[in-house]
Chains A and B, each alone.
Chain A
């Protein structure tokens, strides 16, 4: 198996790395780079726990090879806060009960942040459509929907 050198931005910072061809982005983030905010649930692209933004678009890190993100800008949950602290969306997840156990929360936040960026005026139905790939077993989704609605720019 061959090794490849890749270069990408992770939450704004440039990362250069040599990775084996079969290395998954999820393992690169969690094991090699210690960014464990991104979680591994189903490992097959169904649960959304591993959602990261690749150039702004939400994608499952368990389905991407590290070599595929060469040159891209990756945002993980660790990149959602600013120097002033957590984003309005993140705070809304606390205030509205957007999580309980928290295992799905990184993925939910990363997907929702991408939505607010791409379609700030999304209707409730569009929010559901966008967030459908992010499972949550705790909240029943109502708190997540409230959190996203309350963080929408008015």
Chain B
């Protein structure tokens, strides 16, 4: 079978046999004989000066091999783009959970005991715990020295905003004179929405091991982009990148959180002083309180429409709580980019967007599955729904009047490139039976989700053996998305061989550079490279069938292809949902959900279904329960029992429908899927609740209490 014919048969995942038998070795499972275990002293204050650190008692504890403090890291700061986070703090701590000292000991229990024996004398300082307060003209700068911080991959200097407490700041406008466009509007609407901090919560905590042999630094970690981790470590620690080798195994869930690593840097110093491998496995409590959650947001939207409800002008002001450090953001603008261009997917002739990420004394924000976008889509799609009701038009009809057609101006400034959004919405309306009259307390909602298809560059190598087997090597790992199986199937389809004859091996960072997983890039970039490499091999064999060509080989042949995926495209989906709202309690029950997607050609049918279903429930958690609440700068959840994730008993009936307009830019017309579905779920749920009950909730999560309060306000 070649091409699409193979893609229609369900895949057997390459990592399947090992995962069902418990044989897969994740970072925390690898045995390192003689390895020490690390633990960290963390700040109990959101902002404080460190007066002194007394580790005498800890050092005296049997089994403790080293204690280091901020004084031992030589001013090193870590980060994915802006390196602003001290590897260990030496003068000030900037959030509850910031690290002050580290211990390496013979066991984790001893290391944790030693941590309790370290006395830090703090002088508490006033904390900036509110984004608005942090942006007041007289607010003190949290990073007065920021001009001296390293900004990686020097595309110019570090971007700056109007206030020193801006981590990232964007102000852009598209389509000419926005004020004049607003002046021409018949009606103008303005609404504000807020969303809390939420956590990626991969069930595998971050873990890492570092050891040094001669002048080489060896790293195994749960980071999903090993080459970028290597470069970040090299910059931070003042080492040549070639001295560091990162060799990451399978990852137990990512969702963006595994893009940031913080322990590896400290472990380097501990490995250096002890001469031994040192390992750290993050406790779930520290995951919750100190590891780069999704940014809390406040988003204000203003939209002008003409007499028929067509959008003529739009503006957005989005503020994101970036926390104490920008280190978790890899983007050149230090922005959660999915939060900038509101009303994505709609025809908007003139728009203006201001987005700010603000330094505060909260936990640093990071990337989480479609960074910035769920906050944006919740605001945008709720805003549209309210406008429709104010205009006396059905929310469905208002969307139909405003959804972009190919080539229409959209809020990114460009013409719309991507699936037929009208077809998706129409199908969602049919599937949920939008016109059916529903009983009291029941209603339906809609939302549109669009997500760019990633771009980037990687190298893939194929080696054909005389027995006809093909080994693929790549720098990309496997964090659950089925990356290796995708590569395998594309190679097999292109060369018309049985996928069972194609194996995939991951290489460490002593191999051609790879961008890692993230930004919806694996299907277009790695899938594209797999196809290009397979085509290069076929050409090298003069177009002969693989089996025939292999039999005549005297030795294995190899082709290596560097591939650049550059084409702009989007995946898109339309959500529809029916809910029941209990007027007495405000409790919401999802009766049915429909997601109509265009992700182009399907490569891994089982894996794709998992991405879409999993993405839906990921969004459902954000919609209904997830809230990493803070009190006086401290995250209240201190264990997983305090953070409510969806369970198997919470998931509603879900129907997924596929459309394909045939224009996907990835291999064989594929598009990306991993970050497509979750952003729209809070929005569709909010809109369904409003339809069912009249309660409009402007803040996530949509708890019974918030619905009940909105119902009281309405009555």
Query: Which residues does A use to contact B, with CB under 8 Å?
Result: 30, 34-44, 46-47, 49, 76-78, 80-81, 86, 90-91, 93-97, 99-106, 109, 127-129, 131-145
Contacts and interface: CB of A to CB of B under 8 A. Distances in A.
14 contacts: A35-B22, A39-B26, A42-B641, A46-B640, A90-B20, A94-B13, A96-B606, A101-B252, A103-B26, A103-B253, A128-B648, A139-B614, A140-B613, A140-B654
Given A46-B641, A137-B255, A142-B654, A102 B480 contact: yes
Given A39-B203, A101-B204, A102-B480, 16 more contacts: A40-B281, A41-B205, A43-B284, A46-B641, A81-B21, A94-B16, A99-B480, A100-B481, A106-B22, A132-B647, A136-B203, A137-B202, A137-B255, A140-B615, A140-B618, A142-B609
B640 A44 contact: yes
A140 to B, nearest CB: 3
B192 interface: no
Contacts of B607: 97, 100
Q: Which of B10, B203, B481 has the most CB of A within 10 A?
A: B203
B641 A44 contact: yes
Contact of A141 (B10, B479, B651): B651
Interface string B605-633: 01101110111111000000000000000
A32 to B, nearest CB: 12
A143 B253 contact: no
A49 B203 CA distance: 8
Contacts of A91: 20
Contacts of A77: 20-22
Given A77-B21, A95-B10, A128 B649 contact: yes
B424 to A, nearest CB: 20
A99 B18 CA distance: 12
Contacts of A40: 28, 281
B25 interface: yes
B140 interface: no
A142 B10 contact: no
B252 to A, nearest CB: 3
B648 A145 contact: yes
Contacts of A94: 12-13, 16-17, 20
A42 B253 contact: no
Nearest to B255: A137
B645 A36 contact: no
B24 A102 contact: yes
A42 B615 contact: no
Nearest to A37: B22
B254 A43 contact: no
A91 to B, nearest CB: 7
Interface of B: 10, 12-13, 15-26, 28-29, 31, 201-205, 250-255, 281, 283-284, 479-482, 606-607, 609-611, 613-618, 639-641, 645-649, 651, 654
B10 A137 contact: no
A47 B647 CA distance: 10
B480 A138 contact: yes
A38 B23 CA distance: 10
Nearest to B202: A137
Interface of A is mostly: loop
Contacts, number: 165
A141 B640 contact: no
Contact of B29 (A36, A96, A99, A101): A36
A82 to B, nearest CB: 12
Contact of A43 (B250, B283, B646): B283
Contacts of B203: 39, 41, 47, 49, 101, 103-104, 135-137
A80 B17 CA distance: 13
B648 A39 contact: no
B638 to A, nearest CB: 10
A80 B250 CA distance: 22
Given A49-B203, A93-B20, A135-B647, A101 B31 contact: no
A100 B648 contact: no
Contacts of B479: 101
Given A36-B29, A44-B640, A102 B250 contact: yes
Contact of B19 (A35, A81, A96, A105): A105
Contacts of B20: 77, 86, 90-91, 93-94, 99, 105, 109
A131 B648 contact: yes
A19 B82 CA distance: 48
Contacts of A38: 22
A74 B356 CA distance: 54
Nearest to A103: B252
B354 to A, nearest CB: 33
A39 B606 contact: no
Q: Which 4 A-B pairs have the closest CB atoms?
A: A37-B22, A101-B480, A103-B252, A140-B617
Contact of B254 (A30, A80, A101, A131): A101
A91 B647 CA distance: 23
Contacts of A41: 203-205, 284, 640
B637 to A, nearest CB: 11
Contacts of A106: 22
Contacts of A136: 203, 648
Given A49-B203, A94-B20, A138 B284 contact: no
A119 to B, nearest CB: 15
Contact of B21 (A37, A95, A132, A137): A37
A97 B614 CA distance: 10
Contacts of B606: 95-97, 143
A94 B482 CA distance: 12
A101 B21 contact: no
- Of B21, B26, B648, chain A has the most CB atoms within 10 Å of the CB of B648
Nearest to B478: A101
Contact of B613 (A102, A128, A134, A139): A139
Contact of A140 (B15, B29, B616): B616
Most interface-central of A37, A106, A132, A144 (chain B CB within 10 A): A37
B19 A99 contact: yes
Contacts of B205: 41
Given A103-B252, A137-B202, A145-B648, A97 B609 contact: yes
Nearest to B617: A140
A57 B606 CA distance: 31
A78 B26 CA distance: 16
A113 B250 CA distance: 25
